[in-house]
Amino acid sequence: MKLVGLFIAAVWLCAAAPSAVAQTVGAADQAERKQPPPETPVVPPAAEEPQQPPGEETVNEAAIEAEIAAQELSGEAQTRLDAARDSVVQIQGFFEGSESSAFHGSGFAVDDGRRIVTNYHVVAQAVLYPQQYRLKYLASDGREGPLHVLAIDVRNDLAIVAADDLELPPLKLRPDIPAQGERAWSIGFPLNLGLTITEGVANGLVENRIGQRIHYTGAINGGMSGGPALDRRGRVYGVNVSVVTNRQLVGFVVPAQHIPALLARAKEPLEKQYSALQLRQHVTSQVLAYEADVLEAQPDAVSTQTVRGFVLPTQISPYVECSTFDERGPHVRTRVEVISCRIPSQLSVQSGLPVAGLSIQHRIVRSIGLHPLQFERQVNRVAADTPRLGLPTHVAPFACHDGLVSLDGFDARISTCVRQYRLFPDLYDFNVTVVSLDDESQALVSRLTLQGVAFDSGERLLKRYLGALQWKP
Amino acid sequence: MEAVMLVEQVGALGHPVLRQRFTGAGTECRVGQDIDCDVVVDDEHVAPQHALLTLLEDGRVRVQDLGTRNGTRVAGKRVTPEGAIIEQGEIIVGHTRLYVRTRHVPPGQERVYRREFVRTHRTWLTVAGVAACIAYAGFRQWLNAPSSLPRSVTTAALVTLGVLALWTGLWALMSKLNRGRWEVRVHLAIASIGVAVCVWGSWVGGLVAYAAQWSVLAKVGVGVIGAITLVALYLHLREATRYDRRIALAIAGAATILISAVAWVIAIGVDDNDVNRVDLGPDVRLGAERIVPNRDIAEYLAEVDRLKRAAGRERQMSLLNSPLADAGD
């Protein structure tokens, strides 16, 4: 199953204020939008479907009707929902003294029934801005009260929350991954419409993905984030986490096997353990640990691809996925070949603030009979078309440095721009643009974009990237 | 020496429309609408007998108001009943300006007449300037490699001519009103040469900035363009008005500062708060000569290392300008 470019569009299910949603969507890499539509994952037939013996061609309509009735799909969903109803709560976030909620998601009781599992992104605002946001639960019997966060796992997008006096019937966790094709249900509060259950099929762990996610083919909508994903026996095999927008029923679920480790850490409220500054450092350290695993895995193995004499680094980390395509050039008399590489999944420390992202875009721009002066203008245009990924609330402006550098086999102008995160001073964005010089009919415009990385690790990746660029005519 | 006073009536455009000479101490000059006055003024805000100018023994002039309702002003101040004694200056009655001169203020030295460069060579300068402007407009169009080059070049040339014509026309009109001559070629020469120097200079400057890897040149270029604007405005003013050098320079300077300030504010609004703005350095010129040696990767990476501090400074500035919503500490 190839899912290149699919995850970029994956958005959180936590229904946030409209502006925050727009930010999440707006953060999608512009360059990626130019890619052809990703392959839609092929959904294998559900295991429950009646298997026709091979060779038997007759269709017995009455038998099919009976089969369908026997499955009692809607009845089963009702049983699942009734069994889980008391364990599921809606989690709402409020901005300062406001009475209307700023964002909301779902959660469910586990373990002794006093602790509730949800997504990190549901409670992220409250974790990062403890003085501005407060959390509240709303149980099925109408009880409500304040919630506090006990533990967070940014990498797996999980959080444990608890209320002082709340004890709910816990749901049982299933430690293994459901087989591909197993029937599954997701429960939550989509779009604030009340408790809802959807039915679908679990499609196994997604390959090539660093953070483990189970692909769920079924309806998941904003607000169901943090809700339980149940198997046939009513056990929780995962937590609803994200959905691919503008696609049909492609949802993702965090496997339940990550919950026990987090529960072991969830002893007392985070705000008692950490100051606000330390909390941000706590979040940062989880991001940096993820980065060390992902961005800097196998630092010596850089795979390359040769295009028109240029040897171009593609996988400077084993998790990078690449695609090659023709792009509409800035001018009809230019041709642009693009090799676009990125790590398909990204962590988000808060809505609209993805971190630990890496993308490389090599563009080979060729002139079709343009004068060198005309061609250089088009090359500068391609180089100046930088992605606009940052929001002024999250990042400070770039500081840049440019220079003419001798690379392996060719000379290039390299412009490196670095900006620091406002809330997380240990995280930086890198934007490196390499433009080859001296060839008047063909130019390489290559860009390395790093989002939310430690400065040192950004420098190491930059070194690896520049060291691998080569011209071999 | 006999006392003398010259009384000039100043017209609406600042030129003397009447000049009368009075000699001998004790000579009086009456100013008013009345036909018996020495200086008859056709102004409904002036009384029939409005002011009295008396030439004194020492050659100065006493100015007296003859009890009018609107009064008489000398150097901007209303004359008291005792009168004011002046050596020279402006006298205002109603809406009419008079100018009085006496022997006390000798005329200036004779200035050697010098034909100015622009005026002498106005025809050639105009042809060269307009040609350079149109050439640049065409060159820019050609750089974009448009699908129909003749059409783009024609449009650009016409737009350039139109802008130059509008600008020149306004200054020529000012010339005609203030000095009685249109001076179209002089103004067109000033405008077109100024624009041509700015646009071609910035193109050549880009080439030099790339060759020398001198990013500062962009800022120097902005300064040079400011200086050229100042000079052009000064020359326009000198040609189109009767202001002397200092006043023309002051007005041109003020206008330049105003234009720069507006441009700066717009640039800040567009640029400075943009967290996605990247400064890639001087534009790449493929195949152009470079006069600086290339760095190697290690050298460049060492320079990148310093960006950490620069980025930190940007963050500090950003936090000062807009503190975090929930600092928390």
pLDDT at residue number A71 = 54
Q: How confident is the model at residue B272 (pLDDT cuts 50, 70, 90)?
A: low
Q: How confident is the model at residue A60 (pLDDT cuts 50, 70, 90)?
A: low
Give the pair of three-digit tokens for residue A327: 């792009």
DSSP A39: P
Residue B313 has pLDDT above 60, yes or no: yes
Identify which has the larger pLDDT, B302 or A72: B302
> Stretch B275-300: mean pLDDT, rounded?
88
- Nearest-neighbour CA in chain B from A399: distance (Å): 5
A395 touches chain B (CB under 8 A): yes
> Stretch B88-117: mean pLDDT, rounded?
87
Residue B267 has pLDDT above 90, yes or no: no
Instruction: Report CA A185 to chain centroid distance, whole Å.
Output: 22
Dihedral sign computed on CA atoms, order B153, B154, B156, B157: positive
pLDDT at residue number A63 = 65
Residue A47 has pLDDT above 70, yes or no: no
Lowest mean pLDDT: which of A63-67, A307-311, A394-398? A63-67
CB-CB neighbours of A201 under 10 Å: 22
**Among the ranges A264-273, A281-290, B71-80, B247-256, which has the highest mean pLDDT value?**
B247-256
Residue A465 has pLDDT above 90, yes or no: yes
Give the pair of three-digit tokens for residue B61: 């002039």
pLDDT at residue number A30 = 35
Compute the distance between CA of residue A319 and CA of residue B89 in angstroms, rounded to an integer: 88
> Stretch A66-74: mean pLDDT, rounded?
56
Identify which has the larger pLDDT, B229 or A299: B229
Compute the distance between CA of residue A11 and CA of residue A353 in angstroms, rounded to an integer: 12
Compute the distance between CA of residue A432 and CA of residue B280 in angstroms, rounded to an integer: 9
Across the interface, whether the CB atoms of B314 and A420 are under 8 A apart is answered yes
- Nearest-neighbour CA in chain A from B145: distance (Å): 6
pLDDT at residue number A52 = 35
Q: How many residues does chain A have?
A: 473
The phi and psi torsions of B10 (rounded to 5 degrees) equal -95, 130
pLDDT at residue number A207 = 61
Q: Which tens digit of pLDDT belongs to each residue from A418-445? A: 999 998 999 999 999 999 998 889 999 9
B65-84 residues touching A, CB cutoff 8 A: none
pLDDT at residue number A209 = 58
How do beta strands B51-55 and B72-74 pair?
Answer: unpaired
Q: How confident is the model at residue B271 (pLDDT cuts 50, 70, 90)?
A: low
CB-CB neighbours of A151 under 10 Å: 23
> Stretch A353-363: mean pLDDT, rounded?
90
The phi and psi torsions of A88 (rounded to 5 degrees) equal -100, 135
- Output b/e per residue, B93-122; b: 16+ Cβ within 10 A: bbebbbebbbeeeeeeeeeeeeeeebeeeb
DSSP B70: S
Identify which has the larger pLDDT, A32 or B75: B75
- Nearest-neighbour CA in chain A from B238: distance (Å): 41
pLDDT at residue number B216 = 87
Compute the distance between CA of residue A72 and CA of residue A75 in angstroms, rounded to an integer: 5
Cβ contacts (< 8 Å) between B290 and chain A: which residues? 404, 437
Mean pLDDT of chain B: 91
Identify which has the larger pLDDT, A183 or A53: A183
Percentage with pLDDT > 70 across chain A: 84
pLDDT at residue number B290 = 86
Residue B14 has pLDDT above 80, yes or no: no
Instruction: Report CA A42 to chain centroid distance, whole Å.
Output: 21
Cβ contacts (< 8 Å) between B302 and chain A: which residues? none
Lowest mean pLDDT: which of A245-259, A389-403, A453-467, B167-181? A245-259
Q: How confident is the model at residue A416 (pLDDT cuts 50, 70, 90)?
A: very high
Long-range contact set of residues B196-200: C-beta below 8 Å, sequence gap at least 24: B196/B128, B196/B129, B196/B132, B196/B133, B196/B136, B197/B228, B198/B225, B198/B228, B199/B133, B199/B136, B200/B132, B200/B136
Instruction: Report CA A372 to chain centroid distance, whole Å.
Output: 42
How do beta strands A357-367 and A158-162 pair?
Answer: unpaired
pLDDT at residue number A57 = 42
Name A6's Cβ contacts closer than 8 Å, sequence gap at least 6.
A38, A41, A244, A247, A250, A344
> Stretch B222-244: mean pLDDT, rounded?
93
Instruction: Report CA A133 to chain centroid distance, whole Å.
Output: 24
Residue A58 has pLDDT above 50, yes or no: no
Residue A42 has pLDDT above 60, yes or no: no
Residue A3 has pLDDT above 60, yes or no: no
Candidates A77, A417, A412, A124; CA nearest to A282 is: A124
Long-range contact set of residues B12-21: C-beta below 8 Å, sequence gap at least 24: B13/B177, B13/B178, B14/B178, B14/B242, B16/B99
B295 touches chain A (CB under 8 A): yes
User: Which ipTM did the prediction report?
Assistant: 0.77
Please list the residues that pair with B29 across neighbouring strands.
B53
Across the interface, whether the CB atoms of A459 and B328 are under 8 A apart is answered no
Contact A70, A169 (CB under 8 A): no
Candidates A240, A235, A194; CA nearest to A90 is: A194
Q: Determine the 3-state secondary structure of A325 from DSSP.
A: strand
pTM: 0.76
Give the pair of three-digit tokens for residue A384: 């100046």
One-letter identity of residue A66: A
DSSP A440: S
A275 touches chain B (CB under 8 A): yes
pLDDT at residue number A36 = 36
**Among the ranges A129-133, B225-229, B263-267, which has the highest mean pLDDT value?**
B225-229
Mean pLDDT of chain A: 81
Identify which has the larger pLDDT, A36 or B282: B282
The residue assigned the tokens 């460069």 is: B117
Across the interface, whether the CB atoms of A396 and B310 are under 8 A apart is answered no
Identify which has the larger pLDDT, A220 or B121: B121
One-letter identity of residue A458: G
One-letter identity of residue A218: G
Q: How many residues does chain B have?
A: 329
